[in-house]
Chains A and B, each alone.
Chain A
Amino acid sequence: MPSMLAGLNPGWVLIIAGVASLFITMRQARQVVTIAAPLLALLLLVFAPQNMDLVTTQVLGLKMVLYRVDALNFIFSLAFLIAAVLNGIYALHSDDRIQDGAALFYAGAAVAATLAGDLMTLFVFWELTAISSVFLILRAQTRAAYFAAMRYLGVQVLSGVLLLNGLAYVLKSRGDLSLEAFTDLSDPGVLFIFIAFGIKAAFPLLHNWLQDAYPKATVVGSVVLSVYTTKLAVYALARMFPGQEHLVWIGAIMTVFPVFFAVIENDLRRVLSYSINNQVGFMVCGVGIGTPLAINGVAAHAFADIFFKGLLMMSMGAVLYRTGTVKASQLGGLHRSMPWTTLFCIIGAMAISAFPLFSAFVTKSMIISEVATAGYAVIFLMLMFASAGVLEHSGIKIPYYAFFGHDSGLRVKEAPFNMLLAMGIAAFLCIFLGLPALFPGFGHEWLYGLLPYREEAMGYSHHHLFSFDHIITQFQLLIFAIFAFVLLKRFHVYPPEKRGVILDSDWSYRKVGYSLVTWAGTVWGKAGPAMTAAFFRITSRAYNWIEAAFSPRGELARGGVLNGAMTIWTAALLGIVLLLSFMAVG
């Protein structure tokens, strides 16, 4: 590849294309850009030389590595760019310059952050992902989306500010901002960076920006959003905190708690947002384990997740586009009019549930296997619980309540062809990535060949992946869980889908925090004038006293208190002082 092209960062290509899209009014020309730019970026990435600093610069004496490709960031960037192509296809039915531009810019910022060779460059693009992605929420142009976008922006910028704060500490203590992994969380700078990454990865209690904002974005917006931010955070954690034991527990909790919320949630795009939390939990847990096979599992699962979660989000987007709602309580029976979408959704559901011959089966198992090997019994049970849980909310609930269940009577058109095409390609990937290697490099071996620790991945593939034990235990887990669903439905124990919002940790700031601020405002509105009036009362009284004593018309000027006796006593006192002075001098 010519050296000029070798230095062209694929992320920047998307960013430039995104900015250009904002000004291209001709719809067809913009559509060409939204698909051609990610394809060009893909070519640049695939042919980029690895393990060398391709673009560097100096800013205020700080060396910044703007573009560096290695085995870990290659696979994340590759997934981001393929997803950008699919997102471009998925958006073809719409004519929205801001949405197209923001989607490309956001994808480009995420790719450029992934390909950054130092923490300061990572920070710059980290912030750009936040600023560009908020438009995908705002473009929904609803009241809910507006408020959610403001909250989203606040949380994302907080993450960036914490990251910058951490970088300042780290630069002082370590002397550079290289991507060398951190080991000690007790350093305050490292802790700031950890929390900044944790916000974007949606750690427990820092997670609710995700379920708040993603379901309120546009049809295309939520598909785009589901790909980048959380997976960028997973990459950043895998890069900077591999083997950090806290992450094992944080990740395991992340896999478990969204299951309970997803069961009772009525908005199916919000169910998928909880599902993002749940799947990112597996990845975070894998980063915490930190062994080569676990890191392979993290990278592979992120890669697969981008497509099966994207596919599920696309199918719900298609339902929203055609029916105007994604509320489970109002849907049902849509397989009658949207059979292609139903089929693709079922493929995505089987992939996320880790059915053998589907993608998550070959990716998630590496993480769970390493958890078991490391002897984390409780974590293993939690991950198994989460595997049954993901089958419940993404594997069964999403397709069942949207496309089957009771017939809502809705008869709509099938999704537009461009949506079906994007879903079809994603569905192909969900199946292809899970297939056994019929010949070298086919199916899952193609993905395994891209992983950071290729030999370990191939060893796992040959000895364990499609072993009888692995397949039969996975079927046992899944078939019994599905049987539980059928049984609970049969005996009417399954909770019905009801309209309503489900409170989560955002209640603390949307209700309690907001009420406190409102209350403080009301109190200040009343206390402020009262305090001002009291101040004026006191100062005017003091002024009156001083004036009464010292002004030209005051008591002293009139000599009111200086009567004859006072004059004699004053003269006597002065006389005594004089006498004492003479005696002292003498």
Chain B
Amino acid sequence: MSDPTENGRDNSGRFVKRAAESVHNLNTPSEDGIHPLSKILFGWTHRKGIGNIIFYVLMVLALAVISVDFFHARHEYLNFANYAGFYGVWGFVCFAFAVIMGWPLGHLLRRDENYYGDAGGPPEGIDPDAPMADDLPAPHHTSEGDA
């Protein structure tokens, strides 16, 4: 609804315009290519020492959630799950084991990108402005036929 003021200007129209401008600004990247919303949502990740903060916050959180087990008994169907700290320890051990196994498995199973002779660029239909359209050299092996 328009709301004419004394000087004849339309306040709600100005409000809509301002809102449209702020939405536009929020979705228009700055000259360095950084999206304004990124600063609002993830600006905190650029803070100096954020790695340490995350580490210590997680450590405190981990201690807090596991300390509950020392004051509160659970009644699980499987007995071993009732031990204090079972879920935390198992989560930590499993995660670390899966990641550390990445070292030997990487050595064992990783091969050159063109190992099967079919390496190439991205699929059709990507953004024509995509910066990495030709991220690999043309294939030179023919281990999968001559197509």
Contacts and interface: CB of A to CB of B under 8 A. Distances in A.
Contact of B45 (A139, A321, A404, A495): A404
B127 A321 contact: yes
A426 interface: no
Contacts of A63: none
Given A321-B130, A339-B38, A476-B87, A260 B106 contact: no
Contacts of A261: 105, 109
A171 B33 CA distance: 64
A462 to B, nearest CB: 17
A221 B77 CA distance: 43
A263 to B, nearest CB: 4
A511 interface: yes
B70 interface: no
Interface in A500-549: 500-504, 510-511, 514
A335 B45 contact: yes
Contacts of A143: 118, 120, 139, 147
A330 interface: yes
B80 interface: yes
A308 interface: no
B135 A325 contact: yes
A494 B99 contact: yes
A484 B96 contact: yes
B27 A479 contact: no
Pick from A339, A387, A498 the residue with the most CB of B within 10 Å. Answer: A339
B34 interface: yes
A109 B112 CA distance: 38
Contacts of A148: 118
Given A372-B76, A389-B94, A392-B99, A477 B87 contact: yes
A490 B58 CA distance: 13
Interface string A472-485: 11111111111111
Nearest to A518: B143
A190 B109 CA distance: 36
Contacts of A487: 55, 96
A57 B124 CA distance: 42
Contacts of A140: 123-125
Interface stretch (A35-43, A78-86, A212-220, A574-582): A212-220
Contacts of B91: 384, 387-388, 476-481, 484
A514 B78 contact: no
Interface stretch (A3-11, A224-232, A298-306, A374-382): A374-382
A372 B65 contact: no
A324 B125 contact: no
A413 B90 CA distance: 41
Given A388-B90, A411-B33, A324 B132 contact: yes
A96 interface: yes
B146 to A, nearest CB: 11
Contacts of A141: 123-124
B37 A339 contact: yes
Interface string B58-78: 110110011011001011111
Looking at chain A, what size class is its interface with the partner chain?
35 or more
Nearest to A495: B102
Nearest to B52: A490
A183 interface: no
Given A324-B130, A337-B34, A495-B99, A414 B27 contact: yes
B89 A480 contact: yes
B24 interface: no
B35 A514 contact: no
Contact of A479 (B29, B38, B58): B58
A391 B92 CA distance: 11
Contacts of B105: 260-261, 263-264
B56 to A, nearest CB: 10
A501 B118 CA distance: 11
Interface string B96-109: 10111111011001
Interface of A: 94, 96, 99, 139-148, 216-221, 259-261, 263-264, 320-325, 327, 330, 335-340, 342-343, 372-373, 375, 377, 380-381, 384-385, 387-389, 391-392, 404, 410-414, 468-469, 472-488, 490, 493-495, 498-504, 510-511, 514
Given A320-B122, A324-B121, A495-B102, 15 more contacts: A141-B123, A218-B125, A221-B123, A325-B135, A336-B34, A337-B35, A380-B81, A387-B91, A468-B72, A480-B95, A484-B99, A485-B99, A500-B115, A501-B116, A510-B116
10 closest Cβ contacts across the A-B interface?
A: A411-B33, A140-B123, A324-B130, A324-B132, A477-B91, A388-B94, A144-B118, A495-B102, A476-B87, A481-B95
15 contacts: A140-B124, A143-B139, A218-B123, A219-B123, A220-B125, A336-B33, A384-B87, A414-B27, A479-B88, A480-B62, A480-B87, A484-B99, A488-B100, A495-B99, A500-B110
